[in-house]
Copies of this chain bind each other. A is one copy, B any other.
Amino acid sequence: MRVMKFGGTSVGNAVAIDRTARIIADAYRGDGRLVAVVSAMSGVTNQLIAAAQAAAEGDEQAAARLQQELVERHRGAAAELIPTAARLEATVSRLTELATRCARLVESVHVLRDLSPRAQDWIVSFGERMSAVLIAAVLEERGIPAVPVDSDKVIVTDDHFGSANPLLDETRARAEAILVPLLEAGKLPVVTGFFGATPKGAVTTLGRGGSDFSASILAHALDADEVWIWTDVDGVMTADPRLVPSARTLPAISFAEATELAYFGAKVIHPRTMQPAAERGIPIWIKNTFNPEHPGTRIGPDTSSNGSVVKAITAIPGVSVITVEGSGFLSVADVTARVFETVGRTGVNVFMVFQASSQHSLGFVVRRTDASKVLRALEREFELDLLKGRVARLWEEPGMAIVAVVGAGMRGTPGVAGRVFGTLGQHRINIVAIAQGSSELNISFVIREDEVARAVPAIHDAFGLGGSAGERSAGS
């Protein structure tokens, strides 16, 4: 049994939906046991958030305008893909009803002038609800017994609205109660991606790109054989092709490598997707709706070594380096402990930490948008120490990017760091910070944001990642 997830561009318009429906139909006719997970039509999620925010800020027309746009967009696609008039009418009626419910929520946000994370998650879920109805109808039109399923009935989560965590045991019980009977009856469930609900029923989203995560959670709950993530690229690439024209698709990588790539900025897959699948050893395939013959990338428990120690290069732009400069009065351990207690209280995510100097200065990397919050908290914490000179300075360097060079084979392979930093040197790119631990499968460093466009292609080139297979070895 497979779980197949189709992202926003795979259901972005009538042509894309037609293509997606064909893929689903072929797969269903192949082995008959299939769960489809669908995202909202591309752009719809942003439209929903924008309308809800406008309503909260006082826009009187936001709800009405949203309703109209939702109906028109989905009805347009339905009209093209569902020739049977009765089915079209029933489908449009169902879509209209969903759009009306959604608009009512937005109108309420307008009245209360407040968009809570909880309300936003609920409103946003309507994108997937509508696309699931539409796609199930298109499949039915083609003779496939598809049934739209709302994932707030299946995926149970905690109440971290905006990036909820799945409760896997409860989800498994629900999947057995709801999805398994459908599968056993020969139906094809078309499940909404991206959201679940708390045990009490409040809708929660799983974070941006969460439909991948939904597919992995359902695969775990149903003991699926494989997860197929259908997207608009051929697979996980050696680098962002906008930066590196010669970037290639990787045939296979490990769960750990994929997690590292996703953590350090690769957008093809949601960072948390790997975890449920990896826990059960279920391989994840990345496939291209627009090029379904391409084999794609297999993310699996192991990765056949192909002689390449570096697999791919990713970057996170828009980060800041924050530095706390001691003055020797406080020990490294004490300053570090106090800095991270303080950062911990802000709830801000820390990407890298590095300390290595007699000056006792400690650096770390956070998102640019989190930096001033962190700085203010540190200034409060060290107010007295700054006054008394026990801490010399605290400052932020914005406009930075983290670049991560990833590959499990680099553990124990000499020369990788040399090639990475040698390449940067040849291109006269200054390195702001480096942190690399033993037993890691990546080298991460900080450079100026405006040098990413030169750095990534250069490293890609240095490891022959875009060239012919014969050149792809490092460290020699």
Contact = CB atoms under 8 A, between A and B. Distances in A.
Interface stretch (A75-83, A180-188, A439-447): A439-447
Interface residues of A, number: 91
Given A105-B111, A424-B417, A424-B418, A260 B433 contact: no
B321 A438 contact: yes
A162 interface: no
A304 interface: no
A260 to B, nearest CB: 5
A179 to B, nearest CB: 25
A431 interface: yes
Given A111-B108, A344-B331, A352-B356, A425 B435 contact: no
Contact of A422 (B362, B384, B421): B421
Interface in A358-389: 358-359, 361-363, 383-384
A265 B116 CA distance: 35
Contacts of A340: 332-334, 336-337, 340
Interface string A432-476: 111111111011101000000000000000000000000000010
Interface stretch (A149-157, A214-222, A246-254, A407-415): A407-415
A360 to B, nearest CB: 10
A323 interface: yes
Interface string A321-337: 10100001001111011
Interface string A178-199: 0000000000000000000000
B437 A436 contact: no
Interface string A23-34: 000000000000
Interface string A88-131: 00000000000000001101111111101011001000000000
A290 to B, nearest CB: 29
A444 B356 contact: yes
Given A421-B422, A438-B321, A332 B349 contact: yes
Contact of A260 (B104, B113, B348, B358): B358
Contact of A356 (B119, B355, B436): B436
Given A112-B105, A414-B425, A419-B422, A353 B361 contact: no
A416 B430 CA distance: 9
Q: How many copies of this protein are present in the complex?
A: 4
A413 B437 contact: no
A397 interface: yes
Contacts of A109: 108, 112
A347 to B, nearest CB: 8
A195 to B, nearest CB: 15
Contacts of A439: 323, 361
Contacts of A305: none
B412 A430 contact: yes
A209 interface: no
Q: Which 3 A-B pairs have the closest CB atoms?
A: A415-B425, A418-B425, A108-B108
26 contacts: A108-B111, A256-B359, A262-B358, A323-B439, A331-B350, A332-B349, A332-B350, A337-B341, A337-B343, A340-B340, A352-B356, A354-B355, A354-B356, A354-B435, A355-B437, A357-B440, A357-B444, A361-B440, A362-B437, A383-B384, A417-B424, A417-B434, A421-B421, A431-B436, A432-B438, A434-B435
Interface of A: 104-105, 107-114, 116, 118-119, 122, 202, 256, 259-260, 262-264, 271, 275, 321, 323, 328, 331-334, 336-341, 343-344, 348-359, 361-363, 383-384, 397, 404, 412-440, 442-444, 446, 475
Given A114-B118, A357-B437, A418-B422, 8 more contacts: A114-B116, A260-B357, A334-B340, A336-B340, A337-B341, A357-B442, A361-B437, A418-B421
